Amino acid sequence: MSVWPTLPPRDGVLVDDSPPPPADPVAREPAPGEGDQTAVEQSEDRADLAAYRRARRRARTRRLATGAAGLVGLAVAWQIAATLIRDPVFLPSVSQTGQAFAHYLNRPYPALGKPLWYDALISLRRILVGFAIGTGVGVALGAAMSATRVVRHLIDPVIEVLRPLPPLAFIPLFIIWFGIGETPKEVLIVIGVAPIMAVTTVAALDEVPEDLRLCARTLGAAGLYTMLHVQIRSALPGILTGMRISMAGAWTSIVAAELIAATSGLGSLIMQAGDYLNTALVFAGIITIAILGLALDAGLRGLLVLADPSRRR
Amino acid sequence: MAARAEAGGAADLRVGGPAGPPEEIRAPGGTDVVIDSVGKTFRRGGRRTVALAEVNLQVAAGELVCLLGPSGCGKSTLLRIVAGALAADTGTVLVGGQPVSGPSADRGMLFQTPMLFPWLTTRKNVLFGPRAQRSAGLHERDDPELDAEADAILRTVGLAGFGDAFPHELSGGMQHRAAFARALMARPSLLLMDEPFGALDAITRVRMHDFLLSMWERYRITVIFVTHDIEEAVLLGDRVAVMGGRPPGVVEVIDIPLVRPRHALDADTAAFLTAKRTIRASLTA
């Protein structure tokens, strides 16, 4: 084993115990590494880090407050417009929409249908199942493509063909293949999510600098440890960003699919409410979709901030 | 030059209480490196580029040798071969008598960018090596010992209050110091530095020179330092291996007779200028 120099300092100087570090016996200015900071400066640095983080937190609060103000402004404008137009079928007011939401949250619409929360849950379930499978497939594909050139050259054209296709175009085909249950809708989400995740994963893994992996190896990490804890970990923010993007696309697909080919879910609720000219309920449905989409995106964003500390704003 | 063991309470870098007599370990830490007839040719799409040909170099234990040369002279390639990241086509590299086969914690490496892991705090970055080694079943230092050692090393490099900071919250010089601390925690016997200060501004670079010199005085492990900067090579190195020629190899190895311990201000002395002239003559010859 190497003679690791757990030596005392050669010149017998005390190692920095607490600021200020002692001067080297050879009278000179303290080396930058050891003590270019006096006690005051060091404590100022410590305070600086805390102050810096506090300032960032303040900026973040300001940002959220401004965003909330923007939404409130939008609601006010909407209410004013509705009051001026005075046609609840064309543009229901905020209060009418709120009433519709509260009323149908627990009551079925139409009478033989399902309550709003049930429809919301159905849509959510379809999204989550499809998203989970799509992400799994996409990330696995992406990892395989990044690892082996052959796989990459094989799968790339398939993805390039699939990606620009609107998943909706496949609905009639999926109904023929998978019937009219939940499966065609879940497969719909999968084929929307998987290509995006595959492309994102390849890009994220490719972006990890080779020297970062070499660095880990020279610190003593084994090959597998490096792959998991350095390469994949490093690609995680990119993968999570891909998830946010494909999640938005998934919502588009599922609502559109439910509009035309479903008897449950928020899309079908909106369709039926529209058939009966219950615009307030249409708005309520749209807003429910918006809230759910926002919540899921916020969840992913939270994971992203955990994975990538530099995004902590 | 007897080592003065400080009385109890001395916070020296050996962790685990008042350890054994320091007088035992007065030999410089680190291993020797023997590079013997190393050659490397890159083949890409039918074109052959000879990166190195017949390179011979010996580095004694505890020595700081600089590899100096312009871009494309093969100095980084040679460094990576010693690290085990590249395999030599011909010749052998022996580190401490053992042939090199793949990267290992024994041969630490520092790059032009600090390469800190951005998702880990400075402290966790520094602890990455020992933890990874523990996963691989190697070292058995346990957590309290590691924590104390990490604290000590962070203090030594001047990052005492920044253990919980993330890399993006540190300045460039601080990041390099953190990378240095991380490399040392893995306990290498050889440190390979590939133009580590090249991306820094001139003022910070001077401070990093002082930092490296004081660290090296403290630890005395073998260092191979790659640079294209003559002054840096003269300031840091015991010897400078000038590289170049076609095909690229070691042109000349020049002794730097400057007295140790050195400081960045030594760059203004007459002896420094003489050494610099010798090297420049060799480079332009």
Measure CB to CB from residue A219 to each of B162, B186, B212 and give the nearest one.
B186
Cβ proximity of B82 and B115 under 8 Å: no
Measure CB to CB from residue B109 to each of A214, A229, A307 and give the nearest one.
A214
Which helix H or strand E contains B217, and what residues bound it?
helix B202-219
Query: What span, in angstroms and rounded, lies between the C-alpha atoms of A159 and A156?
Result: 5
Query: What span, in angstroms and rounded, lies between the C-alpha atoms of A30 and B214?
Result: 9
User: B56: Cβ–Cβ under 8 A, 6 or more apart, which residues?
Assistant: B35, B36, B37, B38, B250
- Confidence band, pLDDT 50/70/90 cuts, at residue B78: very high
Confidence (pLDDT) at A238: 94
Q: How far is A45 from chain B (nearest CA, A)?
A: 7
- Confidence band, pLDDT 50/70/90 cuts, at residue A112: low
Please choose, from the candidates A121, A167, A105, the residue with its C-alpha nearest in 3D space to the C-alpha of residue A292: A121
- Confidence band, pLDDT 50/70/90 cuts, at residue B138: confident
Inspect the interface and report whether the beta carbons of B165 and A11 lie closer than 8 Å. Answer: no
The mean pLDDT value for B23-33 works out to 56
Q: How many residues does chain B have?
A: 285
Half-sphere exposure of A105 (CA within 13 A, CB side): 8
Measure CB to CB from residue A3 to each of B25, B109, B182 and give the nearest one.
B25
Which residue did the predictor score with more confidence, A58 or A5? A58
State whether residue A15 sits within 8 Å of chain B by CB: yes
Measure CB to CB from residue B115 to each of A11, A46, A215 and give the nearest one.
A215
Confidence (pLDDT) at B137: 78
Confidence (pLDDT) at B139: 65
Residues 40-99 of A with CB under 8 A from B: 42-43, 45-46, 49, 52
Half-sphere exposure of B114 (CA within 13 A, CB side): 24
Which residue of chain B is at minimal alpha-carbon distance from A307? B119
Percent of chain A with pLDDT over 70: 83
Confidence (pLDDT) at A31: 43
Inspect the interface and report whether the beta carbons of A32 and B210 lie closer than 8 Å. Answer: yes
The least confident of A170-174, A295-299, B6-10, B55-59 is B6-10
Terminal Cα-to-Cα distance of chain B (whole angstroms): 42
Q: How far is B270 from chain A (nearest CA, A)?
A: 19
Confidence (pLDDT) at A111: 65
State whether residue A32 sits within 8 Å of chain B by CB: yes
Q: What is the largest CA-CA distance in chain B?
A: 66
Measure CB to CB from residue B128 to each of A5, A52, A219 and give the nearest one.
A219
Confidence (pLDDT) at B242: 93
DSSP secondary structure string for all residues of B177-208: HHHHHHHHHT--SEEEEESTTTTS-HHHHHHH
Q: What tens digit of pLDDT does each residue of A243-282 get?
A: 999 999 899 888 888 888 788 888 888 888 888 888 998 9
ipTM reported for the complex, 2 dp: 0.84
Cβ proximity of A130 and A188 under 8 Å: yes
Per the listing, tokens 């010897």 go with: B239
Which helix H or strand E contains B254, and what residues bound it?
strand B249-255
Q: How would you classify the pairing of strands B64-68 and B33-44?
A: unpaired
Mutate to test the interface with B, among A1, A3, A57 (most CBs of B within 10 A): A3
Cα separation values, B143 from A219, B15, B131, Å: 17, 12, 9
- Confidence band, pLDDT 50/70/90 cuts, at residue B284: confident
Helix residue ranges, H only, chain A: 32-35, 39-85, 94-104, 116-147, 149-162, 171-178, 183-207, 210-218, 223-226, 233-261, 266-275, 279-307
Inspect the interface and report whether the beta carbons of B160 and A4 lie closer than 8 Å. Answer: no
State whether residue A217 sits within 8 Å of chain B by CB: yes
- Residue numbers in A near B215 (CB within 8 A): 33
pTM more than 0.95: no
Q: What tens digit of pLDDT does each residue of A78-93 get?
A: 999 998 988 888 888 8
Q: What tens digit of pLDDT does each residue of B196-228 get?
A: 998 888 898 999 999 999 888 888 899 999 999
Mutate to test the interface with A, among B133, B149, B210 (most CBs of A within 10 A): B210
State whether residue A310 sits within 8 Å of chain B by CB: yes
Q: How far is B91 from chain A (nearest CA, A)?
A: 22
Cβ proximity of B84 and B254 under 8 Å: no
